[in-house]
Amino acid sequence: MARRSALLLSAGVLGIVPWLLTSIFQPQTFVAPRPNMTLRRGQTACRAAGAKELLFQPGQRVTLNGPPAMAGSQGIVIGPVLGNAFAIQFDNGSVFHIDLHNIEGSGTPPAAKIDYNAVRAELKTLMDDPNWDDGSYGPLLIRLAWHSSGTYSKYTNSGGSEGAAMRFVHGTEAKDPENAGLDHAIKYLQPIKDKYPLMSYSDMWILAAYVAIEHMGGPSIGFKPGRVDAPSEKACPEWDGPAIDGQASSRLPHAEYGLVEGFDRDKVLDSEGRILGWEKLAQHMRDVFYRMGFNDREIVALMTGGHLWGRCHPEHSGYAGPWVEEMTKWSNEYAADMIEDPWRMVSHGDTWLDSIGAAELRPAPGKRQYVNKFPPAEGGSGLDDPNQMMLVADMVLLWDPVFRQTLEEYAVDDTGSDDNHALRRDFAAAYKKLTELGTRTLTACPFAH
């Protein structure tokens, strides 16, 4: 291994490093050009030929014929780069741009294609399951894609959807408490992954989320494949989030960060029923999303369209209950209900929830959340309404004046069907951005919708 590493370094110094310094990754998948084809500047054979057969698939293992110092080396195709070259990741983790004629098999028939329409069709057949939460795996798949993407940092260009490192049980992502329960989604998708082995886990997770959103009435999001899976848990991003109780934390947002401790409402709430310290939580949310490159409007779009689905489970996150009444149907209900309904802070000790048929809204010990219920002694508001909850991190959108401006815009039903045109547009754009952060070799050539 030491000799091979030295050879790779030597080859890089002699002629490959300039490729790394001058090449630009292109958002197209490369196909072999026809003989004597002349390409215009900035154009790849994919766009010029309009062909659909892929010569090398991202994730495909290849052997090099050259340069001489690298002949016989093997690596994994990451994707195409400008001209007739591919980015290849070698077993020691290094990445070089290699000309097509140096990749063994360049004259053989095209590699097997991934039938993305068939993958989509199979995902749809697995989406609904009466034995799972509220009859659908969709919300869990949306969360899987979100959390695998939400580790991205623009400051270090690390993390993000590429890698799918959460599948490694000993890695920091799998051990992150914020990802509790997502192993169910990974296992659920495994049969489809087995049927389409050329498709990376990273692409599978993102496409599954897109299909889930569309299947449940949400916006259609154009899918670009090309994400490359990480070889081990070493690819997991470090825990460089804010210290919590003196311990390092992950990059994902924390629902109660910065809040005062305690459960005595007279001591922890202000005159408007807001938990003291909520301003610090609002800043924490901005820190997390700004790190990924989002602005305030995009934050509200992601929260409003993302926390619409499914429910919280006390055995996983510690929080309990659904955000909205119809948790497997796209709507603007999250924004509308947050603004229109009264909300009360509760904790595990609020056993009165059990007596009014809202036990599913009582969080685990140590957790606090807001519910659309009030005990009879406080007027009994919301007793006949569907059981709904909000995390404190959700309520911040209502309390922060800048966040609230966008929330109020999304709360307006301007379609006549519990929907909002701006929300639908903004969520699709923000979720697509989220799931493409940090990727290098996505392509629109073989598949768009």
Residue pointed to by tokens 């070698």: 90
Q: What does DSSP say about strands 344-347 and 321-322: parallel, antiparallel, or unpaired?
A: unpaired
The b/e string for 307-334 (b: 16+ C-beta within 10 A; e otherwise) is bbbbbbbbebbbbbbbbbebbbebbbbb
Closest to 396 measured CA to CA, from 315, 285, 320, 293: 285
Residues counted in the chain:
449
Q: Which residues, 6 or more positions from 182, have their beta carbon under 8 angstroms from its beta carbon?
A: 140, 143, 144, 147, 166
Half-sphere exposure (Cβ direction) of 220: Cα atoms closer than 13 Å: 4
Give the torsion sign (CA, 365, 322, 305, 421).
negative
Annotated catalytic sites, by residue? 147, 323
Coil vs helix vs strand at 182 = coil
Q: Is 382 left (phi over 0), alpha (psi -120 to 50) or beta?
A: left
Neighbours of 178 (CB within 10 A): 19
- The rounded distance, in Å, linking the Cα atoms of 81 and 191 is 32
Burial grade of 341 (CB within 10 A; 0-12, 13-18, 19 or more)? middle
Q: Is 245 left (phi over 0), alpha (psi -120 to 50) or beta?
A: left
Backbone angles phi, psi at 131, to 5 degrees: -90, 0
